Amino acid sequence: MMMSGTSVSQGEGKMICLMVGDASCLGQIIAKLKIRPEVTPLQHKLEKIATDIGLMGTYTALLTIHVLLLRFFLEGYISRQVDLFSKDDSLLTFIKQVVHYVIIGVAIIVVAVPEGLPLAVMISLAYSIKEMSKDHNDVKRLSSCEIMGGADNICSDKTGTLTLNQMKVTNLYCGRDIAINIDQVNGKMTPLDWKNDILKEATDIFKPLIEQNISCNTGADPGPTDKSMIDLLYRTSTDVDAISKKHCPQTATRFPFTSKRKRMSAILENVEGADPTYKKRLHIKGASEIVKNCCSHYLDAEGQTKEMTDEIKSSLDDVIEGYATKALRTIALAYKEVMPNEHGEFHDLPENEDVKDIEKSGLTLICIFGIMDIVRSEVPGAVDTVEKAGVTVRMVTGDNIVTAKAIAVLCHIIT
């Protein structure tokens, strides 16, 4: 049993939720730790204004009472009508007059205190929430409106916010750059053939390696990047489920993707062409710069395995940078023949490290994908508008720096 708030570092699985909200352990802890919410800047200013107005009203009231008393005594002294010790009702008149002056002073204080100011501000903030909801901005707290009004920086996620989060594979590098058709008919991507539309050469070498790598290195709930590659397999009529069941049973060793690892890999079983006695092969998929640096060999345009030299690495860097300047996310695929007991019985040593030894070297680069995520049409105009208002827009992404800059240019974040 896991408590709410528990972080799962890696792996996949299913769970049943028993408690939610305040009934969960985390909810009970939060309920015990509840503190008075911090005063917002606007509330602080309102309190200061109300205090200043109240003090000013008090001083004015005291001054008014003293002036009226002084006037009363001066008028009485001049007309000789004030005699507090006479036997008539002069003392009673004086007391009544003082009480009257005090009432005037209290009235001044009551009028001076701005009781309706907080209500007026709250009504204006509620109106702001209503207007923002028309722009599909769901504001839950009134204080958020005034906090947002003081913001001078906006940090925005790229994928799904600045872009449509509908990624498509547009380029493939297999010893040469291949442009992939992304035309649609009736809202659906057109079918492709590996030999006639994509590879054309060395299809028998690249096709099974690419299909195995993508089919077995995709989780049950794939993200946009993984989904773009899976969609490419579907367009080529590849039976993804059949490949996954054949080579990646539930007992297969998997190393899932994390933001720290920037790669995911699986050890496939029943692989033809691997060690005839062991029939296992490591397939890895991840950030092109990282995967490329772990490769000692690569497949050329004819599907031949060649040694990875410094010159080839420099050439691949140019390919990656070329894709990045087109605002394409680059993903590299690689494989490695696995020997029995290589880095442990399950090939997962060292257990206390994120990246396993078997993933670090001796890989053979298969190909590099260029994946496009289209920028939302309304984003450039929105960025221009907020920047004219003095607000700086910043994009947050885990993409290659060159890719990030290219997308930032399309979004008008940088020029």
pLDDT at 171: 95
pLDDT at 303: 93
CATH number at residue 202: 3.40.1110.10
Residues tagged active-site: 157
**Domain with 402 in it:** 373-415
Do 93 and 130 lie in one domain? The reply is no
pLDDT at 82: 59
Q: Give a yes or no: residue 6 inside a domain.
A: no
Do 261 and 209 lie in one domain? The reply is yes
Do 179 and 326 lie in one domain? The reply is yes
Residue 399 is encoded by which pair of tokens?
Answer: 């993409």
Domain-terminating residue out of 112, 141, 161: 112
* Contacting residues for 341 by C-beta, under 8 A, at least 6 apart: none
pLDDT at 356: 94
Residue 163 is encoded by which pair of tokens?
Answer: 């872009």
pLDDT at 119: 81
Residue type, 279: K
Do 79 and 180 lie in one domain? The reply is no
Report how far Cα 58 is from the mean position of its chain's Cα atoms: 52
Per DSSP bridges, beta strands 280-287 and 363-372 are: unpaired
* CA distances in angstroms from 229 to 169, 236, 363, listed in the order given: 7, 11, 21
Q: Give a yes or no: residue 366 inside a domain.
A: yes
Q: Give a yes or no: residue 33 inside a domain.
A: no
Report how far Cα 136 is from the mean position of its chain's Cα atoms: 18
Do 272 and 201 lie in one domain? The reply is yes
pLDDT at 172: 95
242, 248, 250, 256: CA torsion to nearest 10: -120
d(CA 328, CA 168): 10
Number of structural domains (the chain) is 4
Residue segments in the chain with a per-residue pLDDT below the cut of 70: 10, 36-37, 80-90, 273-274
Do 183 and 246 lie in one domain? The reply is yes
* CA distances in angstroms from 43 to 126, 147, 215, listed in the order given: 15, 11, 56
pLDDT at 217: 92
Do 358 and 239 lie in one domain? The reply is yes
d(CA 386, CA 392): 8
Q: Give a yes or no: residue 35 inside a domain.
A: no
**DSSP β-bridge partners for residue 299:** 305
Q: Give a yes or no: residue 265 inside a domain.
A: yes
Q: pTM above 0.85?
A: no
pLDDT digits (tens, 9 = 90+) for 78-109: 776 655 555 566 677 778 888 999 999 899 88
Residue recorded with tokens 């009934």: 23
pLDDT digits (tens, 9 = 90+) for 264-288: 999 999 998 667 788 899 999 999 9
| Beta-carbon-side half-sphere exposure of residue 48 (alpha carbons within 13 Å) | 7
pLDDT at 236: 94
Q: Give a yes or no: residue 84 inside a domain.
A: yes
Do 127 and 184 lie in one domain? The reply is no
Do 381 and 356 lie in one domain? The reply is no
d(CA 60, CA 53): 10
Do 367 and 377 lie in one domain? The reply is no
d(CA 150, CA 164): 29
Do 317 and 382 lie in one domain? The reply is no
pLDDT at 213: 96
Find the distance separating the first CA and the last CA of the chain, reported in whole Å. 51
pLDDT at 37: 67
Do 187 and 332 lie in one domain? The reply is yes
